[in-house]
Amino acid sequence: MCGIFGAWGVENAAVATFLGLHSLQHRGQESVGIGTLNGTIEVARGLGILSADAISLEQLTKLKGDKSVGQVRYSTQGDPNIQEAQPFEFRNPHNGHHIAYVHNGQLNGNNGWQTTRSDSERFGHAFAQSSGSLEERVFGMLSKLSSQGSYALCMLTHDPKEGDALIVAKDPHGNRPLVMGKTQQGGYVFASEDCALQSVRIGLRMQFEFQRELAQGEVIIITKDGMKTYGPDLLPKPIKPSTPLPCFFEAVYFARPDSHIFGHSVHAIRQNLGRQLAIEAPVNADIIVPVPDSAQYIAEGYARQSGIQFEKAITRSHYIGRTFIDPARLIKVGDFADSRLLSIVRKFGFVEELIHDQRIVLVDDSIVRGNTMRSLVKTLYELGAKEVHLRIGSPPTTNSCYFGINTPTTQELIANGRNVEQIMQLLDYEATCHPTSLQFLSYEGTMAQIPYAKNGVCDACVTGDYKMPQGK
């Protein structure tokens, strides 16, 4: 899961991309990169997040032009180092052809011939190995990769003879989100979520309108001659739209609540998940407490449906990133086995007077590895909670994702091969802090609240049914 951004014909494109990526920072916090095209392609990259100067103002002012791509990265393959920060660049020294691109999703298969460990490098190799017109090269690149996983792609190309282009594409199953907006001056912007378009519109006082979510398999090529969109009738067979399989977890966890994902309001979906959770898993309690931040709207929906008081008894430091997408480092700091556990302790604060002597319903969107929940249950009991009931707004995550989430082995997943009682035992910190109860939202209840699920979704992480090609 990464956040990507692209712009064409947008004044101060680097600044627009910078603002857009700020709004997509929740999708990746390991590295940031921006590339612009103004006669030649220039790229700036940095490790960390934008608010910590991963890309400095000095770097930003050197990025000129009205065409750009950018990414905030969360690594599913490869390492969090500057060599694997995107945009990736490929340059042909013989003909001056130069590309820079960003990718959200994951390609799978043999990585042995790559110069980095990132799956995204394959786009550059596939493009270089294709021939013919720009359109033919784009189709050739995507045809080589369409059966290897998921992608949402923004690519700048510069050719001394053919000119410049921006290429935007989604895989045939439409697994990852990508939206488009158009400025009053005829420019275009693309982003993983429409909250990024809002930031650009407000931050630069730029007038443009949201256009739409790109369709599955859609390819867009923009040149000086205008924009051309390639739908089912114009695409070669390997990349024609197939079964729609948008990721259901985008609505549950990934996306910002002020976004629309695959055309639907995230905060409305999450509130409805909470209402359904309260119907399926009621409990006598004093307060409903969300695990911040992504579970807030699920907890609000639960509270409204149940009539139990909603309290933000757990606070979150926004100077610590999302611990679910923090790849565990093989380090030991004091009593902490890896950096994710250390981040959890640093991440949360507690309003003790709201917790003491209370029966608490602790609501989260999911339990993946269980590190966060184990720590929270222990702390709530230490602060005087009488009961801690866990209510989860999605089904148990039992299987690895090969399409953009860093869960490479099922052994990492707390729900894999275990029932609810066994999961509760694993959440019991040193056999002293057993949750009072635990219930997950049913699969049927979850999908009924996600409007885009009616046409099909990728749900392999909770069903084990891998409908998308894994490329293995």
Q: Catalytic positions, please?
A: 2
d(CA 353, CA 129): 64
How many angstroms separate the Cα of 63 from the Cα of each of 140, 186, 384, 438? 30, 21, 54, 51
Upper half-sphere CA count for residue 166 (Cβ side, 13 Å): 28
Q: Considering only CA atoms, which of 303, 316, 307 is closest in space to residue 393?
A: 303
In 3D, which of 103, 105, 102, 107 has the Cα closest to residue 148? 107
Return the SS3 of 379.
Answer: helix
Q: Is 372 exposed, middle or buried (0-12, 13-18, 19+ CB in 10 A)?
A: buried
**Can you tell me the distance from the alpha carbon of 17 to that of 262, in angstroms, rounded to the nearest whole number?**
21
Task: Let me know the angle formed at the C-alpha of 263 by 298 and 69, rounded to the nearest 5 degrees.
Answer: 105
**299, 277 contact by CB (below 8 A):** no
Phi, psi of 367 (to 5 degrees): -125, 120
CA distance 212 to 207: 16
